[in-house]
Amino acid sequence: MAMATFARRKAYLLARNFSNSSPDALRYSFSLTSFSRGFAASGSEENDVVVIGGGPGGYVAAIKAAQLGLKTTCIEKRGTLGGTCLNVGCIPSKALLHSSHMFHEAQHSFANHGVKFSSVEIDLPAMMAQKDKAVANLTRGIEGLFKKNKVSYVKGYGKFISPSEVSVDTLEGGNTIVKGKNIIIATGSDVKSLPGITIDEKKIVSSTGALALSEIPKKLVVVGAGYIGLEMGSVWGRLGSEVTVVEFAPDIVPSMDGEIRKQFQRSLEKQKMKFMLKTKVVGVDTSGDGVKLTLEPASGGDQTILEADVVLVSAGRTPFTAGLGLDKIGVETDKVGRIPVNERFATNVPGVYAIGDVIPGPMLAHKAEEDGVACVEFIAGKQGHVDYDKVPGVVYTNPEVASVGKTEEQVKALGIEYRVGKFPFMANSRAKAIDNAEGIVKILAEKETDKILGVHIMAPNAGELIHEAAVALTYDAASEDLARVCHAHPTMSEAVKEAAMATHDKPIHI
Ligand SMILES: Cc1cc2nc3c(=O)[nH]c(=O)nc-3n(C[C@H](O)[C@H](O)[C@H](O)COP(=O)(O)OP(=O)(O)OC[C@H]3O[C@@H](n4cnc5c(N)ncnc54)[C@H](O)[C@@H]3O)c2cc1C
């Protein structure tokens, strides 16, 4: 009974959202007909689903396909599963962010709580070893999930030889052909460099190199003020590097709500991170011991030299389809190399699908996972559902910044009349009790209906707090709905409730 009610409400919301949203922002389907080429009988050599790439998009799609009863093979060239996220992205970066945060807290905060040390030291190899252990455990865990769910796993480089056949040069040195009625491209993304800058992963590193430095650089320059650059800059800054972030754009993290972004930048500056905005790198000299970067104002002008021991190039990521043979089977790509797909994640070639970082949309692990599940649900003849408007984004610095839905700038640009409710953590009892009260919750709601349009949180644990907002947005809640939910005391979550109260009425504690 409960399920039936849930299903009816979901269908209603899907229909309502579908009629209001842009095709780019939304992927829904109501058809229950299968788009697949049918399912192989058990024991046949041909797979129902072949997934190329074992990242969060690919491995989740493979497991879900197997759970739906489809014979499934996943091909991965790296030798370990988990893709960018587990091997050189989300997981190792969060491990180092946590370790470096503990060091920073021990140095700067513990004494305020009456915990004193005579000295605190960094053991960088031990820190890196804990990160590597976390990565190894998690990647092996996915191999275990493949076995549990009976997903076949082929280690090697996959290349299309037809829309239903992938030739794999295996890591062991042989070659095998993997056949599939449906093939999902989940080959993800790779580091993007900048013209004239060669990444050597020693003095000039990508995020991958920045996760494995053997020494703490005295001076670190981060080129690009996106979330990856700021997270890695935070790690090395906390460990003692002097960090300067050079950014072409006038602002850091362009996708962030403007007001939150300003507070966030101030907070990072308090942590001694320096910013050179509206600045471009026009030359790199690695001939000496360190690196000399020649900088110029974005709009042109006098050049300056900035010296560094290590330069992290963090200028975004680019879809990865090299050596995949897309041209051989006629799969189209757009001008930045992404694979366009329809609402069912189907490419222009029947039976070939694409998900995750290799298609348009936010380049985030959880979005890739949602794509993967929805894609195989469509293949299995069920409904899939991903709403790109409601994908939360988190910057895992300290404080963290998390958001879901629209920024104030986006709401204004759409001409929607809106209300704003804010609540600072300075007025939150839990934040005060733990002496960590920097940050704010900001909620945007439609003026006429009170429907929540966007929620932006800067707080130590914003990445966890954001999910009640994600639930609220998903169910089209009003700010009053959120305000009337009983929140446990004392919690940081009460700031979300109070911000919701401030949006539709008045908060109590400020
Ligand atoms: C430093 C860093 C930190 C990040 N932090 C976060 C975070 O905190 N939260 C978050 O949501 N996202 C984060 N991301 C982004 C996240 O890692 C990606 O969005 C996510 O991994 C994309 O998943 P995917 O499955 O589409 O692709 P990927 O994870 O890139 O996986 C694709 C896989 O396909 C394999 N492959 C490619 N071509 C072939 C082929 N021809 N044959 C066989 N295998 C192939 C690759 O080896 C790779 O393992 C971070 C990224 C980086 C670099």
Pair of tokens at residue 328 = 């051989």
Q: What is the pLDDT of residues 235-269, one digit of tens each?
A: 999 999 999 999 999 999 999 999 999 999 999 99
Alpha-carbon gap, residue 40 to 49, rounded angstroms: 9
Q: How far is CA 31 from the centre of its chain?
A: 29
Residue reference for tokens 């739906």: 68
On whether the CB atoms of residues 228 and 314 are closer than 8 A, the answer is yes
Q: What does the pLDDT read at residue 45?
A: 77
Q: Tell how far the Cα of 435 is from the centroid of ligand 1, in angstroms.
A: 36
Pair of tokens at residue 28 = 């829904």
Q: What does the pLDDT read at residue 171?
A: 97
Q: What is the pLDDT of residues 200-212, one digit of tens each?
A: 999 999 999 999 9
Which helix (H) or strand (E) segment is 402 a member of? Answer: strand 400-405
187 lines ligand 1 (CB under 6 A): yes
368 lines ligand 1 (CB under 6 A): yes
Q: What does the pLDDT read at residue 40?
A: 34
Q: Which atom of ligand 1 is nearest to the CA of 159?
A: 41
Q: What does the pLDDT read at residue 330?
A: 98
104 carries an active-site annotation: no
Q: What is the mean pLDDT of residues 297-313?
A: 97
| Per-residue confidence band for 402, with pLDDT thresholds at 50, 70 and 90 | very high
Pocket perturbation via mutation, ligand 1, pick of 59, 85, 159, 333 by most ligand atoms within 8 A of CB: 85
Rounded to 5 degrees, φ, ψ at 380 are: -80, 5
Give all domains of the chain, ordered by start, each with its CATH number: 47-190+318-380 (3.50.50.60), 204-315 (3.50.50.60), 399-504 (3.30.390.30)
Q: How far is CA 306 from CA 201, 232, 285, 288, 454, in A?
A: 19, 19, 10, 13, 39
Q: Tell how far the Cα of 357 is from the centroid of ligand 1, in angstroms.
A: 7
Beta bridge partners of 455: 404, 443
| Per-residue confidence band for 5, with pLDDT thresholds at 50, 70 and 90 | very low
Q: How far is CA 269 from CA 264, 272, 462, in A?
A: 9, 5, 19
What mean pLDDT is reported for the chain?
92
Rounded to 5 degrees, φ, ψ at 271 are: -85, 10
Q: What is the mean pLDDT of residues 464-485?
A: 98
Q: What is the pLDDT of residues 37-82, one digit of tens each?
A: 433 333 347 999 999 999 999 999 999 999 999 999 999 999 999 9
Give the CA-trace dihedral at 210, 211, 212, 214, to 10 degrees.
60
Q: What is the pLDDT of residues 143-192, one digit of tens each?
A: 999 999 999 999 999 999 999 999 999 999 999 999 999 999 999 999 99
